C-alpha cells in the first residue's frame, strides 16, 4: 500500500505541477458515501481540509482539479476561495485580525512588563528557519523564529508545588485562529487575575503553560500570503537550500508536526513521502518544534491541556491511532470533552454546539501530539478543531476567542472535583517519594497509558477519576505497598496523603522451575518492564539480583516452549521460587485442517508455514480484499477455570498495508464483547507473539484473529502458525511461603485416600466468603462445599469421594480450589485410590 500510495500520489503531483491556475479553493462533497471517505481520506495524496461523518467532506483543490472531479461528483461546490481566505487574514475596520510572529512577540514582551509577577516568557526552541539562518543559508534569513512558551501563575518565578495545564496553538500553519485563541486565553488569565474568582483560584493553584505558535516559520508563509495553504513546517527535505513551498501546502519541504510525535509514529494516515501534506518526518521527533514541546510537556505534571486546530467543530479525546483503541481514562475523558463541547457554539449556528468524539472517529492518525501526550504523561490531552474554515473572517476571531476561553476555563476547573491528590512521603524521614498510583479497574485496562506517579521533588500526585469508590495501591520499590479504598468526591478534591514504610534492600534469589520441579536454565526474567533489568537463569535455574528493592514488582519470565509467566507481586522475602509451565491446554499447528476454527471461507490453510506443512492464512491463494472486517475464531471456548496464569502464543508473518490495515488478536469471556490483546500491521517475516490471558482466568475464553482492511491496498495478508495456550495453576508451590507469607495452605490427610479425606486449610487471618471446590482433571466441577468464613488457624473439610449427584468418584487425581468472592486463594491436589 505504501508503494501504491506513492504512485497515486506521484500521479496526483504531476497534475498539480501542470495545473494551469495557481489559485486553490476548498470544495465540499455533501453526505459523503463510505467509498468517497475511503477514496479521499484513506488514500494518500489528497488534501482533506475537513470532514464530518454523514455531513460533508472538504478538499483543497486547484480550479482544474475541481473541474475534473466535478465530472464525477456534479454536486461538488466551493466553500472557501483563496481570495476569501486572503481577505479574512487582513485586519478589517476596527478589527485586529491575525497576528504576525513579530506582533505576537512584541505583545508578549509588553505583557511581561505589565504583569511581571504573573507571567514569564520562555524560549523553548526554534523553527528550522533560525537553524538554517544561523548556518548562513540566504533563503532563510527572514525566518529567524523562536518557539515561545508563556508560564502564567501566581508567584510565577517560583517553582511551586502545583499541577500544570497546557494550551498549544498552530501545529499547522494555515490555522492561524489557534494562535489568536491561545493569546486570548493568556490575556484573559492575566487581566482577570484578582477580579474573577475562578481565574484567581486557577492561577493560585496551578501553572498554565501556553505555546501560542508552535510553527512560526509556516505561520509567516501564511500571514505574508506567500503560501496561504501551507500546513507543514519548513524543513528543507530535499536539501536544496531553497524554501520549496509550492503552489499549495503540498510542497517538497516541511513536516506535518502533528504526525511527528513518537507514540505509534509512522503508520496510519501519515506519509513517508516528503512531498505529502501529511509527511511524518524522517523519524519521530525529528523536528525542533516537536522536540521543544516534548521537553516542556515532560518537565511538569500536566493534568490536562488542549491543542487547537481548524476546522470541524469537534472536541476530540485520545486515542486516535487506530479504530477501537480505548483509553483506560475513557469515562472521564468523554465527560470533560462533552462538558467543553457544550460550551462551544458553532460558527454558523449559535444554537448548535461542538461535538465530542474519540479522535479515531474523525479518521485514525498516527504520531499525533494528543496520543503521545496522553500515553506518555497521562494528561487528559484534547484536540479541538475550531470553526468551519481554516481562516475565518477577522470579525469572527474575537467571538471564537471568547468561546474557547470558556472551554479552557472548564478544562482547568476540572482540577476542583473528581480528583484524587495528595503527597506521598517516606514514613520515617518524611521525604518525598516518586511512587506509582495504581487505581484498580483503571490501570489494569489492557490499552497502555503511562502510570500516574508522584513527583520526586514534592511527592505530589494528581489523578482525575470517576466519582465513587476506588481501590488504590501506592507502589514504590523499596517500600511496602499501601492499599486504600477511596471515595472520590464529585464536587471537590479528594485529598489523601500517604506515608510509605521503607524496606531494606537485600539480595534476591529467584529459582525458576518447571511444572515437574526441574530447574529451568536460560529463562529470561524482566523486572518492571524495564529492558535494563533483565536476567537469565543459570544451569541451576537461579538468578540473583543484588541490592534488590523490596516492594511490589512486575515480573515477566519467558522461555521458548513455556508459557510466559506474568506476575505483579509484593516481594519482601529474599528467596522466591517461580514455576514456568510447559503445560499446553490447547494448541493448533494447522496440520490437520480447520475443524477447531470458525472462519469465513476466504480464510484457509497455506503452505507458507512456520513449522510442519501448513499455516492459517486470511487469503491463502491471493491478496486480501478491501473493506474487510473478517474474523477467524476458535470453535469452542477454552476453560481457564482452574488456572492462575495463562498465555496465548503463536507465530505470525504479516504483509499488511501501513495505511490502517491491521490484525487484531482478541479474546472474550462471553463470545460477545471482545477485548483487544494486541494488534499488528506492516510487513514482517515470521515472528513470535505472546499475549497475556490473565483477564480471562477463572472462566471460559474465546479467541479470535480479526483482519481489518480499508479500501486501498491489496497486500498478501497474514499467516499464523503454532498457536498454543499455556496455562498453569501452581505459580507458587503451595508450600513455598516466599512470595506471600500470608498465603493459605491446603493439606490433605490421608493422601492418597480411599474412604474419606480430611482437607485442612490453614490461614493466618480470617477470610470471608470462602468457597472450596473439587474438580476432576478434565476441569469438570464435582462438588462445592458451602460458603464459609475461614477463621485463623486450621479449618477442616471432609470429603468422602462422592460428587454433587451422589455418585462415587473413581480412582485418580482431583484438584482442589479455594476462592473468596471469585478471587483464587489456593489450590491443592488429592489422589483417590479405591
Residues that bind Zn ion (CB under 5 A): 172, 175, 309
Cβ neighbors of 485 (< 8 A, separation 6 or more) are 469, 470, 471, 472
Q: What is the CA radius of gyration of the chain?
A: 31
**Closer residue to Zn ion in complex, CB, 215/376:** 215
Which residue number, 258 or 630, has a Cβ lying nearer to Zn ion?
258
> Which residue's CB comes closest to Zn ion?
309
Task: Name the 3-class secondary structure at 339.
Answer: helix
CB of 441 to Zn ion, least distance (A): 35
Helix or strand (DSSP H, E) at 15: helix 2-17
**Shortest distance (Å) from residue 271 CB to Zn ion:** 15
Burial call 496-506: b when 16+ CB within 10 Å, e when fewer: bebebebbeeb
Decide whether 390 or 797 has the Cβ nearer to Zn ion: 390
The CA-CA-CA angle for residues 741, 743, 747, to 5°, reads: 120
Whether the CB-CB separation of 254 and 236 falls below 8 Å is answered with no
Pairing of strands 482-488, 468-475: antiparallel
Q: Which is nearer to Zn ion, 172 or 259 (CB)?
A: 172
Residues 6+ apart with CB under 8 A from 544: 507, 508, 509, 510
The helix (run of H) or strand (run of E) holding residue 671 is: none
Torsion angles phi and psi, residue 346, rounded to 5: -75, 160
Minimum distance between the CB of residue 406 and Zn ion, rounded to whole angstroms? 21
For the CB of residue 390, give the shortest distance to Zn ion in the complex, in Å. 9
* 8 A C-beta contact, residue 137 and residue 241: yes
CB of 46 to Zn ion, least distance (A): 15
Q: How far is the CB of 229 from Zn ion (least distance, A)?
A: 12
Cβ closer to Zn ion: 48 or 111? 48
Taking the C-alpha atoms of residue 41 and residue 477, their distance in angstroms, rounded to an integer, is 47
Q: To the nearest whole angstrom, how small is the minimum distance from the Cβ of residue 311 to Zn ion?
A: 8
Cβ of residue 178: shortest distance to Zn ion, in angstroms? Answer: 8
CB nearer to Zn ion: pick between 175 and 588: 175
User: Which lies closer to Zn ion via its Cβ, residue 215 or residue 579?
Assistant: 215
Helix axes 288-299, 369-377, angle to 10 degrees: 30
The minimum distance between CB 308 and Zn ion, in angstroms, equals 8
All residues at 6 or more sequence positions from 18 whose CB lies less than 8 Å from its CB, including other chains: none
How far apart, in whole angstroms, are the C-alpha atoms of residue 815 and residue 776?
6
Closer residue to Zn ion in complex, CB, 175/276: 175
Q: Minimum distance between the CB of residue 168 and Zn ion, rounded to whole angstroms? A: 11
214 versus 333: smaller Cβ distance to Zn ion: 214
Residue 386 or 609: the one with the smaller Cβ distance to Zn ion is 386
Give residue for cell 483543490. 61
Q: In angstroms, rounded to a whole number, what is the distance separating the alpha carbons of residues 15 and 9?
A: 10
Least Cβ distance, residue 51 to Zn ion (angstroms): 12
Nearer to Zn ion, 133 or 277 (CB): 277
Among 278, 218, 219, 388, residue whose Cα is nearest residue 45: 278
Place of cell 505497598: 481
- Whose cell is 467532506? That residue is 57
Do residues 208 and 153 lie in contact, with contact meaning Cβ atoms separated by under 8 Å? yes
- The span from the CA of 287 to the CA of 24, in Å, is 28
Pairing of β 565-571 and β 551-558: antiparallel
Amino acid at each position: 500500500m505504501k508503494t501504491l500510495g506513492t504512485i497515486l500520489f506521484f500521479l496526483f503531483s504531476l497534475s498539480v505541477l501542470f495545473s494551469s491556475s495557481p489559485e486553490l479553493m476548498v470544495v465540499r462533497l455533501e453526505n459523503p458515501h463510505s467509498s468517497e471517505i475511503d477514496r479521499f481520506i484513506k488514500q494518500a495524496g489528497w488534501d482533506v481540509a475537513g470532514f464530518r461523518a454523514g455531513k460533508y467532506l472538504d478538499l483543497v483543490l486547484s480550479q482544474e482539479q475541481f473541474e475534473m472531479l466535478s465530472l464525477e461528483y456534479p454536486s461538488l461546490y466551493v466553500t472557501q476561495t483563496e481570495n476569501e481566505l486572503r481577505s479574512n487574514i487582513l485586519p478589517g475596520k476596527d478589527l485586529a485580525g491575525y497576528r504576525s510572529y513579530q506582533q505576537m512577540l512584541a505583545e508578549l514582551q509588553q505583557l511581561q512588563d505589565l504583569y511581571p509577577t504573573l507571567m514569564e516568557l520562555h524560549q523553548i526552541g526554534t523553527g528550522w528557519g533560525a537553524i538554517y539562518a544561523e548556518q548562513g543559508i540566504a533563503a532563510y534569513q527572514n525566518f529567524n523564529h523562536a518557539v515561545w512558551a508563556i508560564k502564567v501563575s501566581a508567584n510565577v518565578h517560583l517553582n511551586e508545588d502545583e499541577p500544570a495545564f497546557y494550551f498549544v496553538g498552530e501545529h499547522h500553519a494555515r490555522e492561524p485562529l489557534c494562535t489568536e485563541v491561545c493569546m486570548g486565553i493568556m490575556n484573559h488569565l492575566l487581566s482577570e487575575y484578582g477580579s474573577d474568582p475562578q481565574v484567581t483560584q486557577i492561577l493560585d493553584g496551578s501553572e498554565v503553560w501556553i505555546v501560542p505558535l508552535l510553527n512560526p516559520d509556516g505561520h509567516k508563509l501564511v500571514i505574508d500570503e506567500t503560501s496561504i495553504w501551507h500546513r507543514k513546517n519548513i524543513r528543507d527535505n530535499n536539501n536544496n537550500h531553497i524554501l520549496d513551498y509550492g503552489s499549495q501546502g503540498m510542497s517538497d519541504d516541511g513536516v506535518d508536526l502533528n504526525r511527528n510525535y513518537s507514540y505509534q509514529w509512522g503508520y496510519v494516515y501519515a506519509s513517508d513521502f516528503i512531498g505529502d501534506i501529511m509527511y511524518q518526518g524522517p523519524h519521530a521527533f525529528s523536528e525542533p518544534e516537536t522536540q521543544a514541546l516534548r521537553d516542556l510537556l515532560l518537565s511538569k505534571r500536566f493534568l490536562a491541556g488542549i491543542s487547537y486546530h481548524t476546522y470541524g467543530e469537534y472536541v476530540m479525546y485520545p486515542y486516535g491511532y487506530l479504530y477501537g483503541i480505548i483509553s483506560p481514562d475513557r469515562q472521564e475523558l468523554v465527560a470533560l470533552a462533552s462538558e467543553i463541547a457544550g460550551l462551544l457554539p458553532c460558527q454558523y449556528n449559535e444554537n448548535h454546539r461542538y461535538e465530542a468524539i474519540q479522535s479515531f472517529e474523525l479518521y485514525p492518525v498516527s504520531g499525533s501530539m494528543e496520543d503521545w501526550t496522553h500515553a506518555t504523561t497521562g494528561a487528559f490531552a484534547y484536540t479541538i478543531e475550531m470553526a468551519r474554515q481554516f481562516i475565518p473572517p477577522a470579525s469572527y476571531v474575537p467571538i471564537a476567542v471568547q468561546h474557547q476561553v470558556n472551554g479552557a476555563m472548564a478544562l482547568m476547573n476540572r482540577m476542583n472535583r473528581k480528583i484524587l491528590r495528595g503527597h506521598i512521603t517516606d514514613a520515617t524521614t518524611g521525604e518525598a517519594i516518586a511512587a506509582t498510583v495504581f487505581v484498580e479497574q483503571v490501570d489494569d485496562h489492557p490499552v497502555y497509558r503511562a502510570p500516574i506517579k508522584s513527583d520526586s521533588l514534592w511527592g505530589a500526585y494528581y489523578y482525575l477519576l470517576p466519582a465513587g469508590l476506588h481501590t488504590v495501591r501506592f507502589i514504590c520499590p523499596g517500600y511496602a505497598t499501601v492499599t486504600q479504598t477511596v471515595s472520590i468526591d464529585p464536587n471537590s478534591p479528594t485529598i489523601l496523603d500517604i506515608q510509605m514504610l521503607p524496606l531494606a534492600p537485600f539480595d534476591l534469589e529467584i529459582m525458576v522451575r518447571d511444572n515437574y520441579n526441574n530447574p529451568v536454565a536460560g529463562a529470561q526474567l524482566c523486572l518492571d518492564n524495564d529492558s535494563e533489568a533483565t536476567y537469565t537463569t543459570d544451569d541451576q535455574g537461579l538468578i540473583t539480583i543484588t541490592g534488590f528493592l523490596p516492594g511490589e514488582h512486575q515480573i515477566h519470565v519467558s522461555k521458548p516452549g513455556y508459557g510466559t509467566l506474568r506476575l505483579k507481586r509484593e516481594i519482601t522475602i529474599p528467596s522466591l521460587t517461580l514455576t514456568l509451565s510447559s503445560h499446553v491446554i490447547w494448541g493448533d499447528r494447522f496440520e490437520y485442517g480447520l475443524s477447531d476454527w470458525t472462519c469465513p471461507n476466504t480464510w484457509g490453510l497455506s503452505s507458507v508455514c512456520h513449522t510442519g506443512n501448513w499455516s492459517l492464512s486470511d487469503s491463502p491463494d491471493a491478496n486480501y480484499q478491501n473493506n474487510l472486517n473478517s474474523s477467524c475464531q476458535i470453535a469452542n471456548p477454552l476453560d481457564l477455570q482452574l488456572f492462575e496464569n495463562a498465555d496465548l502464543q503463536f507465530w505470525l508473518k504479516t504483509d499488511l498495508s501501513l495505511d490502517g490495515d491491521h490484525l487484531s488478536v482478541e479474546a472474550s469471556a462471553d463470545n460477545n464483547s471482545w477485548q483487544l490483546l494486541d494488534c499488528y500491521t506492516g510487513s514482517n517475516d515470521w515472528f513470535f507473539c505472546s499475549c497475556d490471558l490473565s483477564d480471562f482466568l477463572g472462566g471460559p475464553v474465546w479467541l479470535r484473529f480479526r483482519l481489518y482492511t480499508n479500501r486501498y491496498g491489496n497486500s498478501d495478508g497474514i499467516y499464523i502458525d503454532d498457536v498454543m495456550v499455556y496455562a498453569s495453576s501452581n505459580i507458587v508451590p503451595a508450600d513455598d511461603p516466599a512470595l506471600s507469607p500470608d498465603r493459605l495452605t491446603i493439606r490433605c490427610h490421608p493422601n492418597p485416600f480411599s474412604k474419606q479425606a480430611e482437607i485442612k486449610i490453614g490461614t493466618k487471618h480470617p477470610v470471608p466468603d470462602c468457597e472450596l471446590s473439587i474438580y476432576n482433571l478434565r476441569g469438570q466441577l464435582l462438588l462445592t462445599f458451602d460458603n464459609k468464613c475461614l477463621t485463623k488457624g486450621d479449618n477442616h473439610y471432609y470429603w468422602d469421594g462422592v460428587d454433587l449427584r451422589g455418585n462415587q468418584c473413581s480412582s485418580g487425581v482431583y484438584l482442589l480450589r479455594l476462592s473468596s468472592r471469585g478471587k483464587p486463594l489456593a489450590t491443592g491436589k488429592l489422589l483417590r485410590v479405591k
